[in-house]
């Protein structure tokens, strides 16, 4: 872990005026209220009043005092001096170091500021910092900025830059060590060997198992789903699904897992044992969740693709048979005209129709319409069945690897899904063996 994580620019502006405060900042940090004014006006001499006021406002703004008040931006000095009705800004040259130190002590006493070295202030800050590190996953530089803000809020004067850097690093190291210890303690002893197998080369994958699992899969195919399910089976051989991880912040697990994803297998092998086991443990937990999510996402896209293809095939078939449908519809329309003709009500309707159109032709037209016409709510389920073998390639493994549950409103659908396991591995679906509900 690097001891220095701030860049040159951050180091340069720490506890200093990097720029002139904005009008909003001047109003917030440099405005002197009645109490401030009463305290300042009791001092003798414009230089003491202006020096005291600038120290007070600087501590509010930067969180620390500065030894050289000449570095305060001119616009800031003017803003404060105008409130004290001091015209001679150059009077600051008379402000001695002894008076500055005395005024600093007075400011801390009157306004409740404390040095970081005070035991109570340090304890409160370290407790906050460690809690933040334990539940969060901020980068060191972000954590440094948050720590600076926390010190400012709690009226604790900023320590030196290297001191605060070291404190942040120590808090992160302590939190990491605690995380490693907890994960090692939660892992069943017999599963340690299974975790370490992730770092060993495999004759099947021709690489380490962890590299095989980390490798992204491309495409929305049954082969892709099968590959992800094989990875899930490798993780499933590590019996960690019953381990209770409620005491471990989820962000910490994800952070440790990301480290395993980015690290080379050789780097993982060289880690200290406790850290190596904890890292692999976190990776296995997060990899299982990720693989399940990936499987479901690809499965959803896979089914959506089948739905699109089924609709496309059904519409093409309908277009090819549209002429036959028109002929059959026109024939039956002619029959219906005869049946509804008022002039022929008293006649034998059946004989009249059959004299015009043979019975066989009518029956043929009815059969044609029944085979071609579709109801408005049709979802092309017949065309879906032609993709059965594609789904059957991975369906048994999918059902064994991922257990689906449903609310009461989807019990019928879940029941139909569970029946799929009893279907033959190849060939056509025997419709009399399964009851499939209609869904749009």
Integer Cα distance of 402 and 280 in angstroms = 22
Per-block mean pLDDT, blocks of 10 residues, the chain (440 long): 74 88 93 93 91 93 89 92 89 90 93 91 94 90 92 92 92 94 90 90 80 90 92 88 86 91 92 94 92 92 87 74 70 69 55 69 75 66 76 86 86 82 63 52
Query: Can you tell me which residue has the tokens 């092998």?
Result: 269
Q: Are 116 and 123 in contact (CB under 8 A)?
A: no
139 and 229 together in one domain: no
Q: Are 312 and 283 in contact (CB under 8 A)?
A: no
Residue 297 domain-assigned (yes or no) = no
State the total domains in the chain: 4
107 and 125 together in one domain: no
104 and 12 together in one domain: yes
Residue 384 domain-assigned (yes or no) = no
Integer Cα distance of 156 and 150 in angstroms = 9
Residue 366 domain-assigned (yes or no) = no
Residue 227 domain-assigned (yes or no) = yes
211 and 178 together in one domain: no
E strands, 42-178, in order: none
246 and 266 together in one domain: yes
Domain boundary among 290, 324, 350: 290
171 and 199 together in one domain: no
Query: What length does the chain have?
Result: 440
Residue 383 domain-assigned (yes or no) = no
174 and 130 together in one domain: yes
* C-alpha pair distances (Å), 12 with each of 45, 63, 324: 34, 16, 84
Residue 265 domain-assigned (yes or no) = yes
Residue 143 domain-assigned (yes or no) = yes
Domain boundary among 153, 186, 219: 186
pLDDT tens figures, 324-339: 666 777 777 777 766 6
101 and 153 together in one domain: no
Residue 378 domain-assigned (yes or no) = no
Element (H, E) at 129: helix 119-135
Element (H, E) at 399: helix 395-401
101 and 19 together in one domain: yes
pLDDT of residue 346: 47
For residue 319 the two structure tokens come to 């277009």
Q: Are 95 and 50 in contact (CB under 8 A)?
A: yes
For residue 284 the two structure tokens come to 């296995």
Give the residues across from 201 on adjacent strands: 208
Cβ neighbour number for residue 124 with a 10 Å cutoff = 15
196 and 254 together in one domain: yes
Integer Cα distance of 432 and 388 in angstroms = 16
Contacts 24+ apart (CB under 8 A), 90-98: 91/45, 91/46, 91/47, 91/50, 92/47, 92/50, 92/51, 92/54, 93/47, 94/45, 94/47, 95/47, 95/48, 95/50, 95/51, 95/69, 97/67
pLDDT of residue 353: 66
Integer Cα distance of 331 and 325 in angstroms = 10
Domain boundary among 141, 164, 186: 186
Domain encompassing residue 164:
119-186
104 and 163 together in one domain: no
pLDDT of residue 377: 63
Does the reported pTM lie above 0.75? no
176 and 221 together in one domain: no
pLDDT of residue 416: 82
For residue 234 the two structure tokens come to 């490798």
């Amino acid at each position: 872990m690097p001891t220095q994580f701030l860049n040159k620019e951050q180091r340069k502006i720490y506890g200093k005026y990097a720029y002139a405060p904005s009008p909003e900042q001047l109003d917030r940090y440099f405005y002197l209220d009645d109490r401030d004014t009463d305290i300042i006006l009791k001092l003798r001499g414009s230089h003491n009043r202006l020096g005291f006021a600038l120290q007070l406002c600087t501590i509010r703004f930067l969180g620390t005092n500065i030894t050289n008040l000449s570095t305060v931006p001119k616009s800031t000095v003017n803003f404060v001096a105008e409130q004290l009705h001091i015209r001679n800004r150059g009077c600051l040259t008379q402000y001695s170091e002894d008076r500055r130190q005395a005024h600093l002590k007075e400011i801390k006493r009157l306004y409740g500021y404390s040095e970081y070295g005070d035991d109570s202030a340090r304890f409160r800050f370290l407790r906050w910092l460690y809690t933040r590190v334990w539940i969060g996953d901020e980068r060191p530089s972000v954590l440094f900025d948050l720590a600076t803000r926390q010190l400012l809020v709690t009226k604790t004067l900023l320590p030196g830059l290297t001191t605060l850097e070291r404190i942040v690093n120590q808090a992160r190291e302590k939190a990491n060590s605690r995380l490693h210890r907890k994960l090692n303690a939660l892992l069943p002893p017999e599963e340690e060997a299974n975790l370490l197998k992730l770092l060993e080369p495999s004759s099947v994958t021709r690489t380490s198992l962890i590299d095989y699992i980390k490798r992204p899969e491309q495409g929305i195919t049954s082969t892709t789903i099968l590959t992800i399910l094989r990875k899930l089976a490798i993780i499933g051989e590590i019996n960690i699904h019953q381990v209770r991880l409620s005491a471990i912040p989820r962000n910490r697990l994800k952070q440790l897992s990301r480290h395993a994803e980015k690290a080379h297998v050789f780097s993982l092998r060289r880690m200290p044992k406790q850290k190596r086991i904890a890292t692999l443990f976190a990776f296995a937990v997060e990899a299982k969740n990720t693989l399940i999510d990936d499987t479901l996402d690809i499965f959803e896209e896979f089914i959506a693709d089948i739905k699109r293809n089924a609709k496309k095939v059904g519409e093409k078939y309908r277009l090819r048979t549209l002429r036959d449908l028109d002929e059959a519809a026109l024939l039956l329309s002619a029959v219906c005209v005869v049946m509804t003709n008022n002039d022929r009500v008293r006649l034998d309707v059946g004989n009249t129709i059959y004299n015009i159109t043979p019975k066989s032709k009518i029956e043929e037209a009815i059969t044609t319409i029944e085979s071609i016409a579709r109801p408005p709510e049709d979802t092309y389920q017949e065309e879906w069945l032609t993709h059965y073998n594609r789904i059957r390639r991975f369906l048994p493994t999918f059902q064994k690897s991922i257990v689906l549950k449903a609310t009461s409103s989807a019990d019928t659908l879940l029941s139909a899904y569970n029946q799929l396991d009893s279907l033959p591995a190849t060939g056509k679906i025997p419709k009399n063996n399964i009851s499939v509900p209609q869904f749009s």
